[in-house]
Amino acid sequence: MEELSFITLRDDPSYKEALAEWFHIKWGVAKKAYLECMDAYLSGNSELGWYLCRDGNRIVGGLGVIENDFHDRKDLSPNICAVYIEEAYRKKGIAGKLLNMAVEDLRQKGITPVYLVSDHIGFYERYGWEFFCLVQGDGELHKTRMYIHR
């Protein structure tokens, strides 16, 4: 492992295509959807950003911020989305650092609170997130947990 670096996509826009492809592979969401959100962020039309962790030039973790992460509570916005850390890099604090980076970046822009949906219990609480409510995911049979970071 080289030294890990944590950046926003605005810090290095040359990662846009690779990051969109990386998220597409991890989550199965169309690459075009990621590119549209990233383009809005890079052009300044949105302050909802994209954050990544690199090991050298390799993307090993990332997350984004979007208006709604495919659930019925459109009033709970913005949402952290697509949190993913490569398996070999898990349990090293990377997700926590990316989450804190995103929350602080948004707070500096006057955007608070921030939400996220996840079925993980106990993970996000370590980073200041609180269970907020249950939400219905688009096309999902069961409700999922919504967390808030104030």
Kindly report the CATH number assigned to the domain that includes residue 83.
3.40.630.30
Quick check: is 41 in a domain?
Answer: yes
Domain count within the chain: 1
Quick check: is 139 in a domain?
Answer: no
| pLDDT above 70 (res 23) | yes
Quick check: is 127 in a domain?
Answer: no
Quick check: is 135 in a domain?
Answer: no
Quick check: is 16 in a domain?
Answer: yes
Quick check: is 33 in a domain?
Answer: yes
Parent domain of 18: 4-112
Q: Give the distance from CA 39 to its chain's centroid.
A: 16
Quick check: is 88 in a domain?
Answer: yes
Per-residue pLDDT tens over the stretch 52-85: 999 999 999 999 999 999 999 999 999 999 999 9
Within 13 A of 2's CA, how many CA atoms are on the CB side? Answer: 10
| pLDDT above 80 (res 2) | no
Per-residue pLDDT tens over the stretch 90-135: 999 999 999 999 999 999 999 999 999 999 999 999 999 999 999 9
Per-residue pLDDT tens over the stretch 111-121: 999 999 999 99
Average pLDDT over residues 14-40: 97
